[in-house]
Structure 1
């Protein structure tokens, strides 16, 4: 399936004020009857955007941390957002995703005040090669699922396991008939980092992440999400996927995913 054949389709359809139905494009990489976490992470940011709509500007999302509490079924989900720590310059929000009355994801987002620090803005990290300069990687040759089939990936050919750089984009809308912010669309691709530089063959080993934490030092813009990713497996069943996040203008932040590493069942 090419991205042109799924243009104007969506990952979710709104079914109520706070409820959403996943489409086939959310299908998971580890199991066909589960949602891939990546688009759901973007949907949570979309819900946060709506929660904040109409407020005076001045606060921006600087960190969002997701805990994945259990199986994310391909069923209708509800997302609630509340303020945990209000403030004029610093605020903490919490979002909860429930499916069938059970919480499956909890996310906390720190919002920070904005001011002009352009005179001291700097990063030692170099920009990535332009997306157009990299070869297309047919990711669905290595991974299953509707989500993987929905994205375009351009990747630096890995020279070793667990290390690569890639650009991702999608022509699938986040929510049918609704505009999404550049941040929500960007975040909707970040969780893919755990699959672009696998340490081991996913047919032989499982290494799903149980969390995702994203820190941002500036707001990203689309349509490309850049992932400079390193995956590490430890000796006792844990792993870590670490990613420097980029847009086409340069680095924007970092993402971390803790992994549970185990052999595929026989």
Structure 2
């Protein structure tokens, strides 16, 4: 017998009898039966971080493939580890019953702290401005249905650049309103995995009333862990009449750049 969904969710997921139980806060905005990619990504990040041997290891990369719509239903995870001396690779799967619905390839790096010399090429002190304290307009994507969902209820968003009502590049700050996992701390990598999937939304180029642009994957690369509760994104989307598109997002905390994210979009005309 299937396990019921949480009736009054205070977190996006909980663990029950060895299964990940998603609440209504995991839902995507387009179909209440399917999860938002950010919810699935944050869960995959949590499972991967739970497998790290100790705190000297940190996740640096996650390449997530959304094989099928991830259902708002009990899920199981399985992990395969490929350890090395300085890096560790792992594969984390999410399954609905016996069906693979999402897979993530992770790279963890063993830390070794040192002080960077002055004038290192490629190091950027740039910040995403204005900061979250100076922004107030929510990133409400035109044509996106309202209702209980991950994007509207589990995440707070504030526009920092661009015009969300018009097509083109956009920038926004995001933070989580609730924990991803009931009873567990949401880590910086989980925060990044949760919100980086929204890059294609804040930088839409085709009206969602007449086009679908579903995210098929997410590649997230961090060169340092975001500090604080806010993560900022500067995003730009490109699409083609052949049916594919990409979104490139540069990621920031309030102190400066932390990494990049890339999404592949599947673009279709609505019938």
TM-score, normalised relative to structure 2? 0.87
Match of 2:264 among 241, 252, 258: 258
Q: Does 1:135 align with 2:132?
A: no
Q: 1:56 to 1:175 in 2, by over 3 A?
A: closer
Match of 1:86 in 2: 83
Q: SS state of the match for residue 38, structure 2?
A: helix
Q: CA deviation at 1:169?
A: 1.1
Q: 1:153 to 1:32 in 2, by over 3 A?
A: same
Match of 1:65 in 2: 63
Match of 2:4 in 1: none
Match of 1:3 in 2: none
Match of 1:193 in 2: 199
Q: SS state of the match for residue 92, structure 1?
A: strand
Q: Say whether the 8 Å CA contact 2:60–2:221 is kept in structure 1.
A: yes
Q: Say whether the 8 Å CA contact 1:246–1:252 is kept in structure 2.
A: yes
Match of 1:226 in 2: 232
Distance (whole Å) between structure 1 residues aligned to residue 224 and residue 74 of structure 2: 32
Q: SS state of the match for residue 214, structure 2?
A: coil
TM-score, normalised relative to structure 1? 0.89
Q: 1:138 to 1:230 in 2, by over 3 A?
A: closer
Pairing 1:14-29 to 2, within 5 Å after superposition:
14-17=15-18, 19-29=19-29
Distance (whole Å) between structure 1 residues aligned to residue 55 and residue 69 of structure 2: 36
Q: Which runs of 5+ in 1 are unaligned?
A: 1-6
Q: Does 1:12 align with 2:20?
A: no
Q: Does 1:100 align with 2:101?
A: no
Match of 1:237 in 2: 243
Q: Say whether the 8 Å CA contact 1:186–1:222 is kept in structure 2.
A: no
Q: 1:157 to 1:127 in 2, by over 3 A?
A: closer
Q: SS state of the match for residue 239, structure 1?
A: strand
Q: SS state of the match for residue 207, structure 1?
A: strand
Aligned residues: 255
Q: 1:116 to 1:187 in 2, by over 3 A?
A: same
The structure with the largest helix share of the pair is: 1
Match of 1:156 in 2: 160
Q: CA deviation at 1:248?
A: 1.3
